[in-house]
A and B are shown apart, each in its own frame.
Chain A
Amino acid sequence: MDAVQSILPYILPGVLVTLEISVGAWVVSAALGLVLAVMRDTRKPLITLPASISVEVVRAVPQLVVLYIVFFGLGTLGINLDSLTAAIVGLGISDAVFTAEYYRAGFLTVAPKQRDAGLSLGLKPLQVARYVIIPQTIPFVVPPLLNSFVGLMKSATLASAVGAPEILYGGRNYMETTGHVAPAAVAIMGLYIIATVPLTRAVRSLEKRVQMRTRV
């Protein structure tokens, strides 16, 4: 009990930072992923090619390396981001290439003739995406997007590598200060289980509801 009490002051402030990183990176990922998916869906080489190359390149690079590039690499170009912003941007970009695939899979669930129906009304391609395609993909895209949020909560621990004071960062401070590694690791593990297990279950139940709806 004493151990827990002594650890909490180190890691609790990091909970808020972890949440900030997860939510921020998730928003970046959801928005950028959508842009990349729409770009790849245009079937215009000048637009699809940059999107496809970006997706392939970022997907090949470990998240931590992307984080270093955003934090240190941009720094050498004179763009200095604080560790929290760098973590949000870096993890968001890393995750966006996967989110783009979720959207793309969602787009594939929409019959191609739906696009024709939208175009034949005189809607512009972006309007077709906005009013016809994307709303139909939402039931299919939301569960993997929420799963991606759970993943980002865990990936947020990488932000400690660029000095963002999230949960692991606090835990490491405790370990270095006290020399007790195991209690800190167990406490961090406990916090993550409390946060992610209910979320994962909620996503699973949402997935089931989507499956039931689409089966009709």
Chain B
Amino acid sequence: MTGEEVLAVKGLHKSFGATSVLEDIDFSIRRGETVCIVGPSGSGKTTLLRCLNLLVQPTRGQMYFHGDLIGDWPSSAKPRINLTKYRSHVSMVFQQFELFPHLTASDNVSLGPRRVLRLTKKQADERALMLLDRVGLKPFASARPRTLSGGQQQRVAIARALAMSPDVILFDEPTSALDWEMVGEVLDIMADLALQGMTMVVVTHELDFARDCADRVITMDRGRVLEEGRTATMFESPTEPRTREILGLSKAQSRGRKRDQRNIS
């Protein structure tokens, strides 16, 4: 079940110089929802997430957080909200993990709670251990990121995002940098989070994950939202031909898959 609207953007544009990257994006997510954003490389998915986290400022459009207008570009050059406070509510998981290499797994997770949420070291360490346990990495609490596998690093990154007790987590292609053997361990944790009602925006190419875990799916291409809808509807009867291609439903792709399956068997 989903609740009140957590995050929304209306008429969002983003351009870098003369290059328009996002055009007229309307998007919202409700509490407890998992929304998957799917689209080819260069379609603006990552830029949309970076706008949602305010790591980059939109060029035009409005952004709402829990129903409050927090930015109206270009009239407000700066967001109308304390940026650091906002970001602590909107965590982000990156494609390349971006763990801090000089810190242990535990310190990576406890840094935010200590320095942003102002927890004591003991409280932050306890929270870090609890979350590392939740992602199955408690025995690696004192390991440095470089000694962990890609999948383990991404699980630590998820624990780091969870440590802020965020209202929503933005996942930017969390499995794209992983070998296929490691994809499952990360997706399992994300599926658990979805089941537990965590609000998540997931940019992904993992269509099975989108089909199984998302409440809604959004397809994007060339900086625009092509189509959005309930997951079952999107996979069963999308209206846009391009959505069929992106979701791997076109006849040509189906033929290709069948050929691959024959070759494998």
Cβ-neighbour of A119 out of B87, B101, B146 (below 8 A): B87
Q: A114–B96 Cα gap in the complex (Å)?
A: 10
CB of B91 within 8 A of CB of A120, answer yes
With A127-B115, A131-B111, A131-B115: A120-B92 Cβ-Cβ less than 8 Å: yes
CB of B53 within 8 A of CB of A117, answer no
CB of A136 within 8 A of CB of B98, answer no
CB contacts (< 8 Å) of A119 on chain B: these are 55, 87
Cβ-neighbour of A114 out of B53, B100, B164 (below 8 A): B100
- Kindly state whether residue A53 has any CB partner on chain B within 8 Å: no
Interface size on B, residues (CB 8 A): 25
Smallest beta-carbon distance B254→chain A, Å: 37
CB of B88 within 8 A of CB of A122, answer yes
- Kindly state whether residue B94 has any CB partner on chain A within 8 Å: yes
The A/B interface has a contact count, at CB < 8 Å, of: 59
CB contacts (< 8 Å) of B122 on chain A: these are none
CB contacts (< 8 Å) of A131 on chain B: these are 100, 111, 115
Q: A124–B118 Cα gap in the complex (Å)?
A: 13
Q: A135–B92 Cα gap in the complex (Å)?
A: 22
User: Chain A 136-169, CB within 8 Å of chain B: the 1/0 string?
Assistant: 1000000000000000000000000000000000
CB contacts (< 8 Å) of B50 on chain A: these are 116
Chain B, Cβ-Cβ closest to A136: B102
CB contacts (< 8 Å) of B53 on chain A: these are 120
CB of A117 within 8 A of CB of B98, answer yes
Cβ-neighbour of A120 out of B87, B100, B101, B102 (below 8 A): B87
A-B contact pairs, 13 of them (CB 8 A): A113-B94, A116-B55, A116-B94, A117-B92, A117-B99, A119-B55, A120-B91, A121-B111, A121-B116, A121-B160, A122-B112, A127-B116, A136-B100
